[in-house]
């Protein structure tokens, strides 16, 4: 019987057999530690009734573990050189479909409709290409897909920012954007040695449990996110200064002040101290004051 794809010897054999060379520009750092893969699958909470969307299967190391655990796996891979490799390595698994496409251009909603009609829950599980981590996560969250969870290996520093709480250095507009849609936590930190080639940064597995409804209620999501981004534009400045310099025009300082007062927020506070609820309140009151 074949060893698991993720074992260092099997990975090297697969790479040699197909004459594969890594492309740094595609964020190709393959996992070569089966224990880490088992931990990722366990953290995802995926069951034999569930479907999984994987992004960037590489040579199929994680895909194989997901195929053993889930009812169905669909994996998006951008690199055409990996498509024949995956046909080879994943041949024993009948419940896997590989789609040769850039996930950022993919219509995932349509894919879910065609591929996952008969599963209980849908999870995203991936060792993401680090050069597009944020773009992929924001697409998955903002498209409001019917997902139960997202479990991804990403740079540790980005995982920290996504899961950060108010009052910490890592807390910012990315924390808010993600936590608006999901509960976020880091489940595992991982050293570079479990990858080939080794990335130059530390990695972590982030778990996002998608909320049934967003964490806070706002009239206009785009405006809410604009207010948040403006408040973090210059972290050393007060909320009032950030709002007057990045959201409302200078002549509207009184509008910003009234909005802050209505939301019961001290204008001298800094953006990083505000909770999601306070940002929601501020975005609603500023909207009222501006109209």
Task: Please enumerate, by residue number, every residue annotated as part of a binding site for S-adenosyl-L-methionine.
Answer: 29, 31, 56, 77, 102, 127
127 lies in the binding site for ligand SAM (CB under 6 A): yes
Residues 141, 211: Cα–Cα separation, whole Å: 10
Residues 24, 28: Cα–Cα separation, whole Å: 6
> Would you say 100 or 169 has its CB closer to ligand SAM?
100
Q: Which of 113, 128, 42 is nearest to 77 (CA)?
A: 128
Nearest distance in Å: CB 44, ligand SAM: 13
> Would you say 26 or 262 has its CB closer to ligand SAM?
26
208-267 residues in contact with ligand SAM (CB under 6 A) are none
Tokens 């975005």 belong to 283
Q: Interface with ligand SAM by CB under 6 A: which range of 23-31, 88-96, 207-215, 256-264?
A: 23-31
Nearest distance in Å: CB 230, ligand SAM: 30
Cα distances from 3 to residues 14, 64, 110, 237, in angstroms, run 11, 11, 35, 56
Q: Cite the annotated binding site by residue number.
A: 29, 31, 56, 77, 102, 127
Tokens of 167: 């009052």
Q: Strand ranges (DSSP E) for 93-181? A: 96-100, 122-127, 149-155
285 lies in the binding site for ligand SAM (CB under 6 A): no
Q: Is the dihedral of CA 231, 234, 237, 242 positive or negative?
A: negative
Nearest distance in Å: CB 102, ligand SAM: 4
Closest CB to ligand SAM belongs to which residue? 56
> Would you say 26 or 138 has its CB closer to ligand SAM?
26
Cα distances from 114 to residues 94, 109, 120, in angstroms, run 17, 9, 15
27-46 residues in contact with ligand SAM (CB under 6 A) are 27-31
Q: Phi, psi (5° rounding) for residue 186?
A: -90, 125
Q: Which of 215, 279, 268 is nearest to 238 (CA)?
A: 268
Nearest distance in Å: CB 135, ligand SAM: 8
Number of chain positions touching ligand SAM (CB under 6 A) = 23
Instruction: Annotate 181-220 with DSSP letters as a single string.
Output: HEEEEEEEEE-GGGEESPPSS-EEEEEEEE-SS-SS--S-
> Would you say 62 or 227 has its CB closer to ligand SAM?
62
Q: Interface with ligand SAM by CB under 6 A: which range of 53-61, 65-73, 244-252, 279-287?
A: 53-61
Among 125, 132, 154, 256, binds ligand SAM (CB under 6 A): 132
Angle at 85 (CA atoms; ends 82, 89), nearest 5 degrees = 135
54-83 residues in contact with ligand SAM (CB under 6 A) are 55-58, 61-62, 76-79, 82
Nearest distance in Å: CB 160, ligand SAM: 19
- The footprint of ligand SAM (CB under 6 A) covers 26-31, 55-58, 61-62, 76-79, 82, 102-104, 127, 129, 132
């Amino acid at each position: 019987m074949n060893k698991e794809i993720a074992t260092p010897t099997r990975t090297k054999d697969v790479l040699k057999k197909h004459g594969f060379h890594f492309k740094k520009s595609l964020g190709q750092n393959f996992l070569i530690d089966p224990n880490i893969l088992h931990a990722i699958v366990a953290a995802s909470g995926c069951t034999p009734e569930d479907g999984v969307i994987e992004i960037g299967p590489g040579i199929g190391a994680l895909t194989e573990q997901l195929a053993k655990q889930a009812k169905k796996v669909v994996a998006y891979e951008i690199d055409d050189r990996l498509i024949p490799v995956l046909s080879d390595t994943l041949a024993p698994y009948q419940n896997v479909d590989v789609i040769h496409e850039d996930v950022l251009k993919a219509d995932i909603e349509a894919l879910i409709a065609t591929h996952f009609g008969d599963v209980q829950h849908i999870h995203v599980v991936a060792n993401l290409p680090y050069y597009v981590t944020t773009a992929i996560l924001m697409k998955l969250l903002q498209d409001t897909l019917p997902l139960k969870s997202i479990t991804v290996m990403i740079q540790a520093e980005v995982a920290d920012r996504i899961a950060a709480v108010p009052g910490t250095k890592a807390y910012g507009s990315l924390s808010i954007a993600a936590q608006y849609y999901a509960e976020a936590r880091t489940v595992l930190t991982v050293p570079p040695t479990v990858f080939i080639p080794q990335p130059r940064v530390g990695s972590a597995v982030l778990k996002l449990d998608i909320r049934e409804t967003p964490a806070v209620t706002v009239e206009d999501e785009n405006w809410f996110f604009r207010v948040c981004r403006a408040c973090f534009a210059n972290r050393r400045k007060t909320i009032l200064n950030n709002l007057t310099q990045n959201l409302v025009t200078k002549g509207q300082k009184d509008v910003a002040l009234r909005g802050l007062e209505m939301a019961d927020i001290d204008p001298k506070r800094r953006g990083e101290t505000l909770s999601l609820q306070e940002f929601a309140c501020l975005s609603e009151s500023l909207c009222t004051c501006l109209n």
